[in-house]
Amino acid sequence: MRESPYPLEHDLGMRWYASDTPGIGGRLRASAEDFFVEEMSPLPGTEGPYLICLLTKREWELQRAVREIAKALSISHRRIGWTGTKDKHAVTTQFISLYGVTEDDLSRVRLKDLEIVPVGRSREPLLLGAHEANRFTITIRDTTSPDLASEVADVTAACGRGIPNYFGIQRFGVIRPITHRVGEQILKGDFEAAVECYVGMACQDEPADVRCAREAYADEKDALSALRSLPVPLTYERSMLHHLVSHPGDFRGALLSLPPKLLSMFVSAFQSYLFNMALSARMERLPDFYLPEPGDRLLFPNGREDMVTAANQGAARMQVERGRCRVAIMMPGSLPPRGSGPDDQVIAALLAERRIVPESFSRASSLVGTRYDGAFRPVSLATEVTGAVTGTDLTLSFSLPPGQYATTVCREYMKADPRAMI
């Protein structure tokens, strides 16, 4: 086990690596072709109002691709469904569902670096998280390790046992990793602070003019002045400021001017932050963090849960080592806490420090229109990785279930600045 040297990772709760190697460095996503993602799901049937297509895209953000496809087909973007949001700087293949669209209609979609191929029909739309897994083929260029083969072997073995299943920096914002901070203020009911954070919190990787505009808003709270100085491409911030100019002091309304999916992401990001913090505390306490101890919960692939006690700890360990279940941490939500193990205590202390209670999540649900009941997430990610070394380049092949990050695997090998992992 090794501690991350990067302050940003500490800020996001990502304090530890499972492997003790110094890291191979290198460059991720030197080209889009170096990061290939293939969604794995059963092929659909042949009947139903939803046309199921295989979407292949290069250097496309999914939401933008959906908007452009909808425009080309002259339909609402709400008639397009998908099971997972794939990486932008990559070549990706995934399934999408199109309501009320025929195979012939697809000829109207002519977009550079994007291809849609019909593969069947369904009676139901595709829903987020419904796919079985993602298959990754990732090449890390120009590694710097003097003993590349040995490091790769050590980290590959760690991936087979279990590495920390952190939420990666993408969860919190790449350029501005602040979404969890906005979510915290929403949960506190401090909508003014949430708006100030989203509009006024400057980050070092932003252009100088953007940083100055944000800092001015944070200092002066002048919505009209900020609206005049913030660049036009910052559409979400400008939407909030437009609302405040028209409705001074209505910070709740300013938040509601954001797209619902973006608004719902803030609270989810805060839940993710709590999970990362609890996982890092667990790793500091238990080097073999993926193995069960009394008070832990076990999560099985079919959704079944079980509690670990002193009496069943040995049997639980055997189940985990055989890959039949994983130790999981409960991310908090509107439901009352259901455990009092060490991980639960870490999260409870973080919530108490911020005066956030289950009712806070219920109130946020009413605002956002998304339920935040709470959910289990395994503490470890385990996968069989195949690594091929060519000179100073390393190509990794592996599969992950929905909700787990390929960059988490790359992070163990590279141990690079998190901003270079995107």
Point out the residues that are catalytic: 87
Please give the structure tokens belonging to residue 328.
């999981």
Strand, helix or coil for residue 370: coil
How does DSSP classify residue 151? H
Q: Considering Cα of 203, then 207, then 208, then 213, what sign does the dihedral take?
A: negative
Cα–chain center distance at 36: 18
| Listed residue (32, 54, 60) closest to 41, CA to CA | 54
Give the span between the Cα atoms of 78 and 249, in whole angstroms.
Answer: 32
| Listed residue (379, 402, 369, 360) closest to 265, CA to CA | 369
Instruction: Please give the torsion angle defined by the CA atoms of residues 275, 278, 279 and 284, in that order, rounded to the nearest 10 degrees.
Output: 160
Strand, helix or coil for residue 185: helix
Give the span between the Cα atoms of 359 and 336, in whole angstroms.
Answer: 9
Give the span between the Cα atoms of 344 and 331, in whole angstroms.
Answer: 9
Cα–chain center distance at 325: 22
DSSP 54-87: EEEEES--HHHHHHHHHHHHTS-GGGEEES----
Please give the structure tokens belonging to residue 130.
């419904």
Give the span between the Cα atoms of 167 and 179, in whole angstroms.
Answer: 13
